[in-house]
Amino acid sequence: MKLKFAALLLATSAPAFAQQQPQPVAYPPSVPAPQDVAWPGSIKLAVNIADVARHVITVHETIPVQKSGDLVLLYPEWVPGDHGPTGPLADLAGLTMQAGGQKLDWTRDTVNVHAFHVNVPQGAAAVDVDFQYLSPASQKEGRVEITPEIIDLAWNTVVLYPAGAFSRGITFVPTLTYAPTWHYATALETAQASPGHAEFKPTPLNTLVDSPLYAGKFSRRINLNPGAKPTVFLNIFADRIEDLAGNPDQIAKHRALVQQAIKLFGAQHYSHYDFLFALSSELGGVGLEHHQSSEDGVDRDYFTDWDKTVADRDLLPHEYTHSWNGKFRRPADLWAPNFNVPERDSLLWVYEGQTQFWGQILAARSGLWSKQEALDAIALDADDMQHAIGRAWRPLQDTTNDPIINERRPQSWHSWERQEDYYTEGLLIWLDADTLIRQKTNGAKSMNDFAHEFFGMNDGSFVTLPYTFDDVVKTLNGIMQYDWANFLRTRLDRKAEGAPLDGITRGGYKLVYTDEPSPFEKSNEGKRKYHDFADSVGISLGADGSTISGIVWNSPAWSAGLMKGGKILAVDGLAFDDGDDLAAAIKLSHRTNDPIELLLQYGKHFRTVQLNYTGGLRYPHLERVAGTPALLDDLLTALK
Ligand SMILES: [Zn+2]
């Protein structure tokens, strides 16, 4: 015993056999960085989307080459609009390559797994590449892009491209095979088409990836800018033919959206614009901006149950705004020369925050929302950010990293971790700026002038114009001299309590709480299938009506030790059915002053807890402050 102990001491203090510490193995040469050069020739890209039964898309490419040796092909990793490395690399399969009938073995780069090396033989003029893109079979694997009635084809999922050149220097000639009875829509220019087959005009890779295609069994095309140029089309694809029915009043509101956007921004940066709009209960919902189009997807009942779909009606205004904000004007550090070098997201509070702002304002100005609906939406925005108490440790600026850090995965403690708050808090900051300009210039100037100045140059051009923080400040100062750099940095960098609500108060309103949700909030809850008690007990319930989908950090439910995932089985000793039972219990406790008792199940564990809360139901609203200028009303009013 003693001897062993002594041996152990000896072994730890002075090893008998000194061992070399590990050293890193040298990395292989990195893949060629993109240069501002043209890739010689055109790449033929043949995509077959006819296999809608199995969600398998087959791809054939012919890539011209000028020299033998190592060729590096890239699968897009950074998907524009996602602001993060979200390319679906795991769904690429069946990759084979050949040249002049000779099979070539490829290898994947050991560091950059989106890069494939192939040794081009002497004398080869082109490399032929075949692979499949296995589009998700269900929502568990990823967003569903293919149904028996609709396909959403994003070209970045079906392309390999050579490393070494900017994406604008690589020309593609895309062809498409699809079900012959279907129709398609895209911002791409068609060169020739016959049923089931289309060939598009030669297109640089950056425009190709920016020009997705919808195809479907049931479609309808509506001119939203009739009698004028450039054309703006609403291309609707639906699960059922009857879902295509938009009535004249609904269509008029979408036409008003186009008119209001053109009046706001002045110039247009597309030769034509195509909304690709899917109405489906099976296709995954989507809102993804492009320069001359957008991928938009909501539930089937957008037109047919108009009163219940109010929460979806700022989607098209938001994505359309991105043609100006995000696509034509783009943060300089976010612009990337190809799809495999990192984007930086520091200015997303402009790119997304101001788009969220204009999206909601344009929804109101076009009549897609009533003024009251817009006020109710802003109340929810303000309330949502009031819950974001994670601002105590994480400033808004830092949330712009979230698309890279989190890629929209669910979180346990939403309010404390913070997510992509630059959308909603960005909106509140621009509302703050708008009312400040209106107040200080006696209504002569507003954010309308910023929109015109910042996005309204170079009419007809869709060459992206990058900008920096200083450019934003400079344009603001051109509209009204103020310490805008400090105004913005304070709001972006502070770790303060409470959301920035000055825009609401200066706009002539205040955020108040009542025991009734607004019709807008009710509709939103119905649409998104949740029941929100965040402002009272701090609980949100998910789609099944009884499972806790979120707990507000520091709320009464938090103090009772609850976290998300639990299922409420009983409240105050009675079996629990859905959110109405919790609402009734919150009302009762307000009257009796007694705590609320919950029986919960977390997996195999059952717990009884008391919520020490007697404040009653609370839902956010904006209330007009009499005798103050209604600057918010001015902002929501349609432009003449
Ligand atoms: Zn957006």
Rg (CA), the chain: 28
Q: How far is the CA of 293 from the centre of ligand 1 (A)?
A: 13
* Dist. CA 214 → ligand 1 center (Å): 19
Is the previous residue joined to 556 through a cis bond, with omega within 30 degrees of 0? no
| Cα of 289 from ligand 1 centre, angstroms | 7
Asked if 92 contacts 58 with a C-beta cutoff of 8 angstroms, the reply is no
- Distance in Å, CA 575 to ligand 1 centroid: 42
Spell out the residues 6+ positions from residue 22 whose beta carbon is closer than 8 angstroms to its own: none
Q: List, for residues 351-400, the tens digit of each pLDDT value.
A: 999 999 999 999 999 999 999 999 999 999 999 999 999 999 999 999 99
The distance of Cα 439 from the centroid of its chain, to the nearest Å, equals: 33
CA of 352 to the centre of ligand 1 (A): 5
Q: Which regions of 135-212 does DSSP assign to beta strands (E)?
A: 150-153, 161-162, 171-177, 183-186, 190-194, 197-200, 203-204
What are the C-alpha distances in Å from 605 to residues 411, 413, 551, 599? 22, 21, 19, 11
How far is ligand 1, taken at its centre, from the CA of residue 426, in Å?
A: 12
User: How remote is the CA of residue 508 from the centroid of ligand 1, in Å?
Assistant: 28
Give the type of residue at 407: E
Q: Which pLDDT value is given to residue 498?
A: 87
- Listed in sequence order, the DSSP H helices in 21-180 are none
Question: How far is 351 from 180, CA to CA, in rounded Å?
Answer: 39
Residue 445 CA to ligand 1 center (angstroms) comes to: 26
Q: How far is the CA of 320 from the centre of ligand 1 (A)?
A: 9
Beta-bridge mates of residue 606:
601
Q: How many whole angstroms from 568 Cα to the centroid of ligand 1? A: 35
Residues of the chain with pLDDT under 70: 1-16
CA of 355 to the centre of ligand 1 (A): 6
| Distance between Cα 498 and ligand 1 center (Å) | 24
Would you say the C-alpha torsion 305, 153, 176, 223 has a positive or negative sign? positive
Q: Residue 216: name the closest of 235, 234, 197, 198 by CA.
A: 235
- Give residue 80 CA to ligand 1 midpoint distance, Å: 11
Strands 567-571 vs 596-602: parallel, antiparallel or unpaired? antiparallel
Question: For residue 325, how far is its CA from the centre of ligand 1 (angstroms)?
Answer: 9
245 beta partners: none
pTM, to two decimals: 0.95
> 508 φ, ψ to 5°?
95, 20
CA of 572 to the centre of ligand 1 (A): 43
What is the per-residue burial (b if ≥16 Cβ within 10 Å, else e) of 258-295?
bbbbbebbeebbbeebbbbbbbbeebbebbbbbbbbbb
CA of 324 to the centre of ligand 1 (A): 11
Alpha carbon separation from 205 to 72, 169, 460 (Å, rounded): 16, 8, 20
Ligand 1 centre from 297 Cα, in Å?
Answer: 14
